[in-house]
Structure 1
Amino acid sequence: MTARTTGSLRVNGATLHYEVRGEGPLLLLIPGGTGGAASFDDIADDLASAYTVATYDPRGMSRSTLDDPEAEQRVAEHADDAFRMLELLSPGEPARVFGASSGAIVAVHLLTARPERVARVVAHEPPLVEVLPDAAEHRALIARVKETFRTQGLMPAMTVFAEGLKKDGDAPEPKAEIKLPPQAAARAEQTMANLPYFVGRIVPGFMSYAPDLRRLEALSDRLVLACGEDSRGELPYRPAAFLAERLGTELRHFPGGHTGLTTHPAEFGEHLRKALRV
């Protein structure tokens, strides 16, 4: 196992926990969903043979605390947190950035806001639903999730959210049971602890975000859009596919589905290595 150092970074309205391992050019990994720095434990050591790998808990998640726990969460502020990480760990040197799910939204905004600090971004299934032709339907979904969370609680809201992410018109298909790696299974407790914050703050704040498409077109040579092989037709797949076509770039496919990082870590890490090459 590669040795790692930990630290804390004070940013506007929060204190971020981060971890660093390896040496070489900086690779910043931005987690999505309820994940924190630990969600990359299954791939970070391998990547650290070629990069200085930095991971962190996004503000409000796990060990990164908010000054105001009730504060609304905005993509631009989370992207500024990522920028502050780059300034701390790779001052003056453009870095590679990977983001998964909501973390991919952060990475996309970071690219458009601070392109001078980013050499390459790999965005895995960013749920940028505002770019889709049927964006109004997804706004209605988020409104239903928020109202269900307010009136009925966490798990009913998660049920509404999960239904909205399924393949269009599909009944749930039975899936083969996937045995999670031991580290991933051990993270389940922390994942559940982060869930109320994710549903109540991250989902509404991030899925209402609309990227600057003109800026993305100008920077498309630095952006790699990726999806899971098993995600075809599901909502998180569609924005990346739409953007790849809009930007005229290749849509890359990684092993597994939306959570392929967790279910297929070795194969996922190998695909990420290839996508990061500038």
Structure 2
Amino acid sequence: MSSTVRSSSVHGSSAEGSLAVAGAMLHYRVQGSGPLLLIAQSGEGDAGRTVDMVPHLTDTFRVLTYDRRGLSRSRLEEPGRTTSLAEHAEDVHRLLAVVTDEPALMLGCSMGALIGLHVAARYPEQVSTLVAHEPVAPRLLPAQLRDRHEAELAGLQELYRASGLSGVFPEMARVVGIDPSRQDAEPGLTPQPIDDQRRVNFGYFIEHDLSAVIEDTLDPAELTRTQTRIVPAAGADTPARVFDRRCATELADLLGAEIQTFPGGHNGNTTHPRAYAEKLRSLLATRP
């Protein structure tokens, strides 16, 4: 472990630690054994977001999850500062350098997938395969669609400021293609209520991370040159017309690849953790 790791604790095959990076302290968790698999979460998700999926992966992979900068235990030196996608990618670069000397596998969901695309472009030697599930990446879209969907994201920010979380949740669901009245899920899931910490995380995500997405500078051409294997993915229940699914489609077209279909919708990793883990395991076992 690097000397930049401030603290760590080990419980059986699980370890937690803190990594000092420029402007922040990152909290992370490692569980299981085998090749390293980094999961970059969506939305306000922190290291515990995929609590139901990780146990279905740890017999095959050493699973790394973390609190993205600005969320939960990953504290900012300047609270309320917007973190760019380039900085998020740098955080992943430094985190991987501490945890492994080998190229890692990576699952990125939504904003986590966009971070993964930046890592693939900037640090391809660190990630052998990236599964990019419905990346929230306007720069992948044609100009007219990009402008429309960036306006959608800005509209979410305006609605949040006017109506709070309760007012913005229905519109957030619509934007990513979730119909709460029709959403199914596997039985026995761990409850994840909207507690005080998640409210704070949602606030940071909406006010700052959405701004970072709108202001993103990803160059899609770099993705065609990376040595990282990028696997575009989307949920079976996500409508083809919505922003995140269109981004996955454009990524597949850019790379000349087939979109891999995962169980559930935009948040299939939390609603269908067993089936999602099985699909992910199958994909990661397949070599191009």
TM-score greater than 0.5 by the shorter chain:
yes
Q: Deviations over 1:233-258 (max 9, x none)?
A: 22211101111022101110000000
- Verify the 8 A CA contact 1:2 1:22 in the aligned structure 2: no
Name whichever of 68-77 and 259-268 sits farther off: 68-77
1:1-278 mapped onto 2 (5 Å cutoff): 3-91=13-101, 93-133=102-142, 134-166=145-177, 174-175=181-182, 178=185, 181-183=188-190, 185-186=191-192, 188-189=194-195, 190-219=197-226, 222-233=229-240, 234-277=242-285, 278=287
Q: In structure 2, how many angstroms separate the alpha carbons of the residues matched to 1:173 and 1:258?
A: 12
| Partner AA of 2:37 in structure 1 | L
SS state at 1:65 partner: coil
Moved over 6 A (4+): none
- Tell me: CA distance 1:158–1:2, structure 2 relative to 1, closer, same or farther (3 Å): same
Residue 144 of structure 1: CA displacement?
2.2
Q: In structure 1, how many angstroms separate the alpha carbons of the residues matched to 2:80 and 2:73?
A: 16
Q: How many percent identity over aligned positions?
A: 36
- Verify the 8 A CA contact 1:131 1:210 in the aligned structure 2: no
Q: Deviations over 1:89-128 (max 9, x none)?
A: 113x211111111111111100100011111111111111
Q: In structure 1, how many angstroms separate the alpha carbons of the residues matched to 2:160 and 2:236?
A: 31
SS state at 1:256 partner: coil
| Structure 1 unmatched runs, 5+ | none
Q: In structure 2, how many angstroms separate the alpha carbons of the residues matched to 1:123 and 1:177?
A: 22
- Verify the 8 A CA contact 1:220 1:249 in the aligned structure 2: no
- What TM-score, normalized by structure 2, do the two folds share? 0.86
- Verify the 8 A CA contact 1:130 1:208 in the aligned structure 2: no
| Partner AA of 1:265 in structure 2 | P
- Tell me: CA distance 1:56–1:113, structure 2 relative to 1, closer, same or farther (3 Å): same
Residue 180 of structure 1: CA displacement?
6.3
Residue 165 of structure 1: CA displacement?
3.7
Q: In structure 1, how many angstroms separate the alpha carbons of the residues matched to 2:275 and 2:180?
A: 24
Q: In structure 2, how many angstroms separate the alpha carbons of the residues matched to 1:251 and 1:178?
A: 22
Q: Deviations over 1:3-24 (max 9, x none)?
A: 3111111111111111111222
| Partner AA of 1:199 in structure 2 | I
Residue 161 of structure 1: CA displacement?
3.7
Q: In structure 1, how many angstroms separate the alpha carbons of the residues matched to 2:267 and 2:214?
A: 18
- Tell me: CA distance 1:53–1:173, structure 2 relative to 1, closer, same or farther (3 Å): closer
| Partner AA of 1:43 in structure 2 | M
- Verify the 8 A CA contact 1:129 1:208 in the aligned structure 2: no
Q: In structure 1, how many angstroms separate the alpha carbons of the residues matched to 2:20 and 2:236?
A: 38
- Tell me: CA distance 1:135–1:123, structure 2 relative to 1, closer, same or farther (3 Å): same
- Verify the 8 A CA contact 2:134 2:233 in the aligned structure 1: yes
| Partner AA of 2:97 in structure 1 | E
Q: In structure 2, how many angstroms separate the alpha carbons of the residues matched to 1:140 and 1:223?
A: 27
Q: Please, what is the CA RMSD of the aligned residues?
A: 2.3
Q: In structure 2, how many angstroms separate the alpha carbons of the residues matched to 1:90 and 1:128?
A: 28
- Tell me: CA distance 1:58–1:157, structure 2 relative to 1, closer, same or farther (3 Å): same
Residue 194 of structure 1: CA displacement?
1.4
- Verify the 8 A CA contact 2:13 2:33 in the aligned structure 1: no
SS state at 1:201 partner: helix
Q: Deviations over 1:156-181 (max 9, x none)?
A: 344444444449xxxx6841554764
- Verify the 8 A CA contact 2:127 2:228 in the aligned structure 1: no
- Verify the 8 A CA contact 1:122 1:225 in the aligned structure 2: yes
